[in-house]
């Protein structure tokens, strides 16, 4: 195992420990965790939905497409691994304060979002984060305009089958109308396909409308013979 892979493992274990601690608080097993952890604030420990260190394991040589600029930026004050895409665009995990960076407005370019205020957003963010390495929402931020302009979700699903294997589902791909045609959707696919491989998924799947099939087929997704996608809607 390489040093960067070891670091990832350590970070994942750390995340799990924090999530477990949060779970203990939520279930009232511990009422005053802060005094036991020297003032560590669980919400401030990391505002990212998942550990960006996983990006350091991505191999651009395995991308399906080429992107003009794809550089890992290491922040001086922490172990953050963000990706500089040039043109003031940065690829990173979703953050707890992205409501203020128009994240819900971005999702409205995909579908109906309903009435979601900042409190609702933060509550759902915390629930996703506590689900411990289940939600990998990767976004692109225009840092100049402080706006999240693209997003793709990888849901990591653990199973009993396939030797207690895991599979991934891609959900909610969206790019802000003003940023389309810049290969941001392709980049998010290239990145999260590798993340799902790093996590050990035996397969990933997604649902899309007919016109976008070609787009996803370029990344190896295909309609499997004999398989059907069935859906029952309640609203
Ligand atoms: C689909 C979407 C994510 C593409 O984002 P993007 O960053 O502009 O895409 P990219 O620049 O990476 O790639 C563009 C490719 O997708 C194709 N494409 C984009 N939108 C398309 C559409 N509505 N129908 C068919 N093809 C489309 C382009 O023709 C282009 O094809 P190419 O490989 O021949 O160049 C964006 O248009 C979007 O957010 N749409 C609304 C939400 C949506 O439909 N999401 C997908 C849910 S499955």
Which residue has its alpha carbon closest to ligand 1 atom 33?
215
- We report the CATH number of the domain holding residue 193 as 3.40.630.30
Task: Report strand pairing: 135-142 vs 147-158.
Answer: antiparallel
**Greatest Cα-to-Cα distance within the chain, rounded to the nearest angstrom:** 57
State how far the Cα of 162 lies from the Cα of 173, in Å rounded to an integer. Answer: 28
Question: Confidence class of residue 31 from pLDDT cuts 50, 70 and 90?
Answer: very low
Report pLDDT for 33. 29
Neighbours of 197 (CB within 10 A): 15
Q: How far is the CA of 124 from the centre of ligand 1 (A)?
A: 27
Calculate mean pLDDT across residues 18-27: 44
Report pLDDT for 76. 59
In a domain, 91, yes or no: yes
Question: Confidence class of residue 170 from pLDDT cuts 50, 70 and 90?
Answer: very high
- Mean pLDDT of the chain, nearest integer: 85
State how far the Cα of 136 lies from the Cα of 142, in Å rounded to an integer. Answer: 19
Q: How far from 84 is each of 58, 65, 97, 198, CA to CA, in Å?
A: 14, 17, 20, 21
- Asked whether 17 and 9 are in contact (CB, 8 A), the reply is no
Q: pLDDT tens across 193-202, in order? A: 999 999 999 9
Report pLDDT for 73. 86
State how far the Cα of 174 lies from the Cα of 184, in Å rounded to an integer. Answer: 9
Q: pLDDT tens across 63-111, in order? A: 999 998 889 887 655 657 899 999 999 999 999 999 999 999 999 999 9
| Confidence check: pLDDT of 135 > 60 | yes
Report pLDDT for 7. 57
Q: Which domain holds residue 91?
A: 47-209
Quick check: CB of 67 below 6 Å from ligand 1?
Answer: no
Judged by average pLDDT, the poorest of 19-23, 166-170, 192-196 is 19-23
Q: How many domains does the chain have?
A: 1
Report pLDDT for 75. 65
Atom number in ligand 1 closest to CA 174? 39
Atom number in ligand 1 closest to CA 209? 48
Q: How far is the CA of 189 from the centre of ligand 1 (A)?
A: 12
Report pLDDT for 80. 72
Q: How far from 85 is each of 23, 73, 182, 184, CA to CA, in Å?
A: 36, 10, 11, 10
State how far the Cα of 203 lies from the Cα of 200, in Å rounded to an integer. Answer: 9
Calculate mean pLDDT across residues 224-233: 94
- Quick one: the chain helix, strand, coil %, rounded to 5? 40, 20, 40
Calculate what percentage of the chain has a pLDDT beyond 70. Answer: 79
In a domain, 229, yes or no: no
Q: Please choose, from the candidates 108, 128, 144, 147, the residue with its C-alpha nearest in 3D space to the C-alpha of residue 47.
A: 128
Q: How far from 2 is each of 5, 6, 211, CA to CA, in Å?
A: 5, 6, 41
Highest mean pLDDT among 15-24, 45-54, 195-204: 195-204
Range list of β-strands (E), 21-88: 71-74, 81-86
In a domain, 127, yes or no: yes
In a domain, 118, yes or no: yes
């Amino acid at each position: 195992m390489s040093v960067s892979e070891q670091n990832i493992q350590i970070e994942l274990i750390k995340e799990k420990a924090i999530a477990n601690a949060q779970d203990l608080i939520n279930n009232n097993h511990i009422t005053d965790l802060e005094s036991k952890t020297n003032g560590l604030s669980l919400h401030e420990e990391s505002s990212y939905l998942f550990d960006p260190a996983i990006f350091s394991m991505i191999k651009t040589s395995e991308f399906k497409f080429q992107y003009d600029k794809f550089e890992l930026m290491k922040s001086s004050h922490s172990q953050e691994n963000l990706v500089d895409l040039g043109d003031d665009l940065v690829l990173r995990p979703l953050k707890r304060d992205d409501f203020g960076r128009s994240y819900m407005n971005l999702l409205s370019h995909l579908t109906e979002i309903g009435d979601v205020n900042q409190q609702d957003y933060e509550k759902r963010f915390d629930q996703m984060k506590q689900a411990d390495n289940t939600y990998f929402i990767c976004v692109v931020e225009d840092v100049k305009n402080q706006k999240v302009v693209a997003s793709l979700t990888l849901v990591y699903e653990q199973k009993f089958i396939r030797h207690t294997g895991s599979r991934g589902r891609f959900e909610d791909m969206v790019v802000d109308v003003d940023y389309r045609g810049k290969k941001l959707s392709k980049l998010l696919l290239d990145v999260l396909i590798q993340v799902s491989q790093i996590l050990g998924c035996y397969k990933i799947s997604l649902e899309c409308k007919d016109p976008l099939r070609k787009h996803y087929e370029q990344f190896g997704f295909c309609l499997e013979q004999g398989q059907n996608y069935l859906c029952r809607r309640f609203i």
